[in-house]
Each structure stands twice: as structure tokens, then as C-alpha cells.
Amino acid sequence: MNPQDGQVYRALVDDREYDIAIQDDQLVVDGEPKDYTFEVLREGYVSMLVDGKSLPVSVEAIGENTLRVTIGGRRTEVQVKDERDLLVEEFGLGDDAAAGGEVRAPMPGLVLDVLVEEGDEVAAEQGLLVLEAMKMENELKAPSGGIVTAIHATGGDAVEKDALLIAIEGQE
């Protein structure tokens, strides 16, 4: 996960959420700008200087959106959501967008590409379709493994929120 200028993240640390962004060369945490420098020493190890305070940091990815972070000897797990995750959450769909073997549009958008065909066997979390919404490309993934039984959208289709896009028959 490489932070980019203007990108917004939400980090969950010990049951507390922090909104984090990098804007105009400043680190912004919960709306408070902080001066910082950031230097990668080697893979997984970073030296940060935040508001004049030196912070040696080690970072290890332990899941798709989960990091194990050690700062000043204190180790904690951090769940990180990027702008796409936050948009899906804002629309109130979260992981339920793909419940019941149906993949539905989490928000209105434009289908850019369908990555599977009817009859394809798919694995859980396999990319099925690319949906452009709010100037972002979002890959919608299979809720579970199974066989694609129906595709209700093609590239170029404009779809509404909750539109059925792909049906998958699960395998036991």
C-alpha cells in the first residue's frame, strides 16, 4: 500500500479510527496537518520524522488490508481502508454487495470490462468485473467459489446501484 498525494485512508488501530491523508507534502491525521519526512531504509523498515519526533517503524503486510506495525517497540495490527473501500462502506454495502451468489453494483457506474464468461469456474475473491464509479476503477470479486451461471452486464453498460451484474452458483 503506497500512499499517494491526495489519497485518503482510514486506519483502525485498537478500536479507534484515524482518517489519514497526504496533502501538499503534509501528513494530515484526523484533520490535523503534521510535518513529516519518510525514508524507506529497506523492505519493511521506515524512518519517519513527524513534527520533529523521530519514529523508527517496521511494517509487515499480514493480509490484504491488514498490516502489523511496530513503532517505538509497540506492535499493533492496523486495518487500512483506501478510498474504494470507504466508498463501498459509504454506500452501505460492504461485503454484503456480493451475498447470496449474486454480484451487484455497489454504486452507480459504468461497466468497463467483464473478466469472466458464463460457465467459468471461479474462486472466492477472483476478479469478475471492472466497474468505473466516481472516477475510480473498482474490481468486483466473487463472494465465493462456484460456476458463473449468468452475466447481466457487458462492457460499456451504465448500471444503477444494486443492479444484478453476475450470478454464481456455489459449490459445496
In 5-124, which ranges are E strands? 8-13, 16-23, 26-29, 32-34, 36-42, 45-50, 53-63, 66-71, 74-81, 102-104, 109-114, 121-122
Provide the pLDDT for residue 130: 93
Q: How many C-beta atoms lie closer than 10 Å to residue 122's C-beta?
A: 21
Where are the domains positioned within the chain?
A: 8-81, 96-170
Provide the pLDDT for residue 165: 95
For 25, the grid coordinates are: 507534502
Encode the chain (172 residues) as per-residue pLDDT tens digits: 455 556 788 888 888 898 888 877 788 899 999 888 888 899 889 888 888 888 889 999 898 788 899 987 889 999 888 777 776 666 544 544 444 488 998 889 999 999 999 999 999 889 999 999 878 888 898 888 899 999 999 999 999 988 999 999 876 5
CATH number of 96-170: 2.40.50.100
Provide the pLDDT for residue 2: 52
For 163, the grid coordinates are: 443492479
Provide the pLDDT for residue 144: 84
Provide the pLDDT for residue 73: 82
CATH topology for 8-81 is Glycoprotein, Type 4 Pilin (3.30.700)
